[in-house]
Amino acid sequence: MIEAAFKGRLGGFDLDACFAVPASGVTALFGPSGSGKTSILRCLAGLTQLDGRLSVNGEVWQDARTFVAPHRREAGYVFQSATLFPHLSVAGNLAYGEKRAAARRRGAASQPVLDRDAIIDLLGLAPFIDRRPSDLSGGERQRVAIGRALLAAPRLLLMDEPLSALDAMTKADILPYLERLAAVAAMPIVYVSHDIGEVARLADRIVQIAGGRVVGCGSTADMLERLGLEAGVPAFEESALLTGVIASHDTALRLTRVDCGGQSLTVPPLDLPVGQTIRVRVRARDVAIALQRPSGISIRNILDATILTIDAAEDAVHGDVVLGIGDARIKSRITREAMAELALKPGMPAFALIKSVSFDGRRGYTARDPETGADAR
């Protein structure tokens, strides 16, 4: 477990955050800019000192009497903008933490989970290993920074919006590296982000932060549903996750078919093996509802569903309908007019029409069972 509680004032801002999450998988600290996510991450690393306590796997890093100095904590840190040492080559930067890791390890308490070659391979660093940081693109720099942190063999990896300084295209290039990292890394990762799309792709669980406080905590699937109408998530980004297994690839039509609890989902081609478990992120705005199975329609994904709940405020244009698809739930955002016309009621069978989906080609659910039993206190 990672058990953390920090309380104090930081430049006109009150932080009072307390959470406990399993020490495995990816935990996202999610919230709007200025909500204190980075401050919490800095407290975890010991770079900022506030009153509080912190223990990682039973090892106390901070309490009333103890404050372990940052360089003695086995915590890797990836900063918002890559802080590579400009006087060292990429290889020199990578070696910096590697050399010191042995000294920091204090015996055999932990072992490097990935060796140097595996990390270089994982992050694709080989082509520019001898270059200087000033000769790298922003995305390459951030990959080196991640590799450097990993080579120090941390027992906890802290990432502070590692993609925020990058443009959208570079971001899209790096996300697959992060996904691979999340899949193979044995150490827990705490990932700060205000981008729900990033969080949905990477995180096993979400700790929601607002105004310096923890306001919610749970598995990514649960939290995406719950985050719903709250501030911090743009309405059009509201989404839910479906888990499925890749059933087949249609190379002629360039499509991949995913089996979601017995129902077939057709998606753009994915470069993943048959049998791989993936998460499909479905945005509420992309889901329509039909009471009969429609025919003569361009939408490929028509899933049997059951209406679970209906939520529409009196003064709102749209309402949210939660649909059960097998064991999973997705949300559909439709106008209140449509709701009334279809006379939707909880318990009714219906069809969910899904227009477009985004994917998280990922690990995880078959290889290991991520604990998502996070709780806010």
Partner 1 sequence: MAALLEIWPAVALTLKLASVTTLALLVLSTPLAWWLARSRVRWKEGVAAIVAMPLVLPPTALGFYLLLALGPDGPGGAVAGLWGGRSLAFTFEGLVIGSVIYSLPFVVQPIRNAFQAIDNGMLEAAASLGASPWDAFWSVAVPLARTGFLTGAVLGFAHTIGEFGVILMIGGDLPGETRVASIALYDFVETLQWGKAHLLAGGMVVFAFLVVLTVLLMDKRGRVRQ
Give the C-alpha separation, 38 to 13, whole Å.
Answer: 13
- Considering only 37, 141, 148, 171, the residue that binds partner 1 (CB under 8 A) is 148
Scan residues 156-185 and list those touching partner 1 (CB under 8 A).
158
- When the beta carbons of 119 and 354 are compared against partner 1, the nearer one is 119
CA 95 to chain centre: 28
Tokens of 275: 């049998």
Tokens of 65: 């009497």
Draw the binding track, 16-45, toward partner 1 (x: CB under 8 A; -: no contact): -----------------------------x
> Segment contacting partner 1 (CB under 8 A): 93-101, 171-179, 251-259, 318-326?
93-101
- Considering only 100, 116, 131, 257, the residue that binds partner 1 (CB under 8 A) is 100
Give the C-alpha separation, 10 to 344, whole Å.
Answer: 49
- When the beta carbons of 132 and 213 are compared against partner 1, the nearer one is 132
Residue 186: φ, ψ to 5°: -90, -20
- When the beta carbons of 149 and 278 are compared against partner 1, the nearer one is 149
Measure the CA dihedral 129/132/133/139, to 10°: -40
Scan residues 67-86 and list those touching partner 1 (CB under 8 A).
69-71, 75-77, 79, 81, 83, 85-86
Residues linked to residue 242 through DSSP beta bridges, in sequence order: 280
Placement of tokens 């900063």 in the chain: 79
Give the C-alpha separation, 250 to 258, whole Å.
Answer: 11
Q: Which of 170, 30, 35 is nearest to 178 (CA)?
A: 170
Q: For residue 18, give the amino acid letter.
A: C
Residue 129 interacting with partner 1 (CB under 8 A): no
Q: Which of 29, 51, 23 is nearest to 192 (CA)?
A: 29
Please, what is the minimum distance in Å from the beta carbon of residue 71 to partner 1? 4
Scan residues 208-267 and list those touching partner 1 (CB under 8 A).
none
| Strand ranges for 72-204 from DSSP E | 75-78, 156-160, 189-193
Residue 96 interacting with partner 1 (CB under 8 A): yes
- When the beta carbons of 83 and 170 are compared against partner 1, the nearer one is 83
- When the beta carbons of 80 and 358 are compared against partner 1, the nearer one is 80
Consecutive H or E run containing 123: helix 116-123
Draw the binding track, 195-214, toward partner 1 (x: CB under 8 A; -: no contact): --------------------
Residue 107 interacting with partner 1 (CB under 8 A): no
- When the beta carbons of 5 and 151 are compared against partner 1, the nearer one is 151
Q: Tell me the C-alpha to C-alpha distance, in Å, between residue 224 and each of 7, 85, 95, 206, 216.
A: 27, 38, 39, 9, 11
Residue 87 interacting with partner 1 (CB under 8 A): yes
Residue 104 interacting with partner 1 (CB under 8 A): yes
Interface residue list for partner 1 (CB under 8 A): 45, 47, 69-71, 75-77, 79, 81, 83, 85-87, 96-97, 100-101, 103-104, 134, 145, 148-149, 152, 158
